[in-house]
Amino acid sequence: MRVVFMGSPEFAVPCLRALAGAHEVTLVVSQPDKPAGRGGQLTAPAVKVAALELGLPVIQPRSARTGELRDAMRATGAELAVVVAYGKILPKDVLEVLPRGCINVHASILPRYRGAAPVQWSVINNDAETGVAIMQLDEGMDTGPVLLERRVAVDPDETSGELLARLAPIGAAALLEAVDGLANGALVAQPQDHARATHAPMLAKTDGAIDFAQPAAAVAARIRGVDPWPGAQAMLRGQLTKLFRARPVDGAGAPGTVLAIDATGARIATSDGAIVVRELQAPGRKRMTAQQFAAGRGIAVGDVLTKPTAEPT
């Protein structure tokens, strides 16, 4: 099948590579290059880099609503558009320009977690299960009928970044099955139950502020869910400190108090127990284990970590 591919981040790359190996990708559409890093150097999206490696034509329209994207897609003669974390809302003329419309790879079991950050909120909410859904796009926010889904268990120690990386190849395999099913008529899209919908808005920097007055399971899940962005942060000795690799454990004390530091990490009290934080990072310093951090006098038993009152950096 002749296909237009639309996507931007690393999560979409396995889908692009799988699609290019099995079908004719006539055009790749990605977000414009953006400044990145401390130097602000213009950096290409991961999908653009992969497309150029594959020798595929790429366009990067600044808007999906000017007609440029619609006309470029029509000119390819493709039958179907595949959208994977493209990052722009597509208007009706784009959704309908190709004969088979647009399908989307979404990293949740719809209608749960419609929106920009389904994996992150799945981890933050301590879900035992998530997955990937392939749906037909319509004008709503992830409201289209579902072609197929794949479910996976969430590891209790998994960060959102790790889960996203694990779901990417699962999504790629499901995508190929969906495209083949559309081609041979074997798949029929099923409408979502909109009454069961939940939403997963894009994370903000403030979502990384850790409140130790919450239950241990919720605090540990929050630390994992905001890893790698915006990152979990707490105030320690007057400075914002990043926290990594948390899990709930037994313990008791005033919330935020460091109860112990050993090879497993720093044990910190919460409202109903404690968590162990395996790694920490001070501003301008490298990430290190809790024992290394303590050896450098960055943390000690009896210290109290608190929720940042200003927006985390």
Q: Could you report the per-residue pLDDT of 132-141, keeping only the tens digit for each?
A: 999 999 999 9
Token pair belonging to 298: 């960055």
Q: Pick from 107, 160, 162, 105: which is nearest to 131 by CA? A: 107
pLDDT at 206: 96
Token pair belonging to 190: 């099923």
Which burial class, exposed, middle or buried, applies to 291 when counting CB atoms under 10 A from its CB (0-12, 13-18, 19+)?
A: middle
Mean pLDDT of 109-124: 97
The pTM (predicted TM-score) of the whole model is: 0.94
Separation between Cα atoms, residue 3 and residue 183, nearest integer Å: 12
Mean pLDDT of 37-46: 88
Q: Could you report the per-residue pLDDT of 53-98, keeping only the tens digit for each?
A: 999 999 999 999 999 999 999 999 999 999 999 999 999 999 999 9
Look-up: residue for tokens 């007609």?
A: 67
pLDDT at 46: 97
* Residue range(s) of every CATH 3.40.50.170 domain in the chain: 2-196
pLDDT at 275: 98
pLDDT at 77: 96
Q: At what angle do helices 13-22 and 46-53 cross, to 10 degrees?
A: 30
**pLDDT over 60 (residue 312):** no
The pLDDT confidence band at residue 143, using thresholds 50, 70 and 90, is very high
pLDDT at 313: 57
Classify domain 2-196 at the CATH class level: alpha beta
The pLDDT confidence band at residue 39, using thresholds 50, 70 and 90, is confident
Look-up: residue for tokens 């790698």?
A: 228
Would you say how long the chain is, in residues? 313
**pLDDT over 60 (residue 309):** yes
* Residue range(s) of every CATH 3.10.25.10 domain in the chain: 206-295
Mean pLDDT of 198-210: 97
Classify domain 206-295 at the CATH class level: alpha beta
**pLDDT over 70 (residue 311):** no
In contact, 206 and 311? CB cutoff 8 Å: yes
Q: What is the mean pLDDT of the chain?
A: 96
Which contacts qualify for 99-103: CB closer than 8 Å, 24 or more apart? 100/182, 101/136, 101/137, 102/6, 102/136, 102/137, 103/134, 103/135, 103/136, 103/137, 103/147, 103/175, 103/178, 103/179, 103/182
Q: Could you report the per-residue pLDDT of 214-250, keeping only the tens digit for each?
A: 999 999 999 999 999 999 999 999 999 999 999 999 9
Q: Pick from 87, 85, 146: which is nearest to 111 by CA? A: 146
